[in-house]
Amino acid sequence: MNLILLGAPGTGKGTLAAGIRNAIGIAHVSTGDMFRHNIKDGTPLGKEASGYIAHGELVPDSLTIRMLEERLQRDDCRKGFLLDGYPRTIAQADALAAFLTGVGQKIDAVLDIRLADATIQERLSGRRVCPSCGSSYNLAARPPKKPGICDTCGTALEHREDDRPETIAVRLMAYHEKTRPLEDYYAARGLLHAYDNEVGSEITLQSILKALGTLGAASRP
């Protein structure tokens, strides 16, 4: 099953993506993680992307598409994939559809995770991330046992530049302007499934898995 996870930054997509991946055994393909790995390794692509990400701007399609096409052809995507962070524009959605058609695949469903902007601001501004193992914390909802230190590996936590209030505002503005139109794009194709994550990720995950089970059963001969 090939899925897309839509939603503004801070809506809880990472938690939901992990739950979906573990439940149905498909690859979680996060474009954010791909870019961060390239930035950390100092690759040419990473150096170019870092300037956009640090200012809360969207990475140009030409950088994203090239990386993603290579990623989707790896072995772990053969049983399906969950795209997280792509597409972000109509142009990217068209490019993705063309690529998948060319390799005999398609998107089965688009999961749209929704949350109020004020809640997103609160969640993201309190987020801290471990640069070593990738563990994520929230100073209000899930703080580390020792302030500023990762529970898992003991590395000092980071307050990422794109989680600072001024950058969050820019990211949300970019999302509403460029990415929200994808809701209409995929709704018109009968693929959009919307979920209000104000109820909490556990409840939202169960709703998603129930819908995917029904969708999978309907697609089987």
CATH number for the domain harbouring residue 61: 3.40.50.300
Q: What is the mean pLDDT of residues 62-78?
A: 86
SS3 192: strand
Q: What is the pLDDT of residue 59?
A: 77
> In degrees to the nearest 10, what's the CA dihedral of 96, 23, 142, 51?
-20
Confidence of residue 219 (pLDDT cuts 50, 70, 90): low
Q: Assess whether pLDDT exceeds 70 at residue 218.
A: no
Mean pLDDT value of segment 99-115: 94
123 catalytically annotated? no
DSSP state of 11: S
Q: Phi-psi category of 105—alpha, beta or left, where left has phi over 0 and alpha has psi -120 to 50?
A: beta
State the catalytic residue, choosing from 71, 123, 128, 171. 171
Q: Is 145 a catalytic residue?
A: no
178 is catalytic: no
Q: Evaluate whether residue 140 is within a structural domain.
A: no
Query: Is 78 among the domain residues?
Result: yes
- If one compares 122 and 2, the residue with the highest pLDDT of the two is 2
Backbone phi and psi for residue 23, each to the nearest 5 degrees, phi listed first: -75, -40
Give how many domains the chain has, as a whole number: 1
pLDDT classification of 217: cutoffs 50, 70, 90: low
- Selecting among 36, 88, 123, 128, the annotated active-site residue is 88
Question: Which of 13, 36, 123, 128 is an active site residue?
Answer: 13
Let me know if residue 211 belongs to a domain. yes
Does 13 qualify as catalytic in the annotation? yes
Predicted pLDDT of residue 84 = 92
Per the annotation, the verdict on 127 as an active-site residue is yes
pTM, two decimal places:
0.78
Residue 146 falls within a domain, yes or no?
Answer: no
Domain that holds residue 35: 2-115+191-219
Question: Using an 8 Å Cβ cutoff, are 207 and 199 in contact?
Answer: no
Q: Is 156 a member of any domain? A: no
Report the C-alpha dihedral over residues 197, 142, 17, 62, rounded to 10 degrees. Answer: 100
The verdict on residue 200 lying in a domain is yes
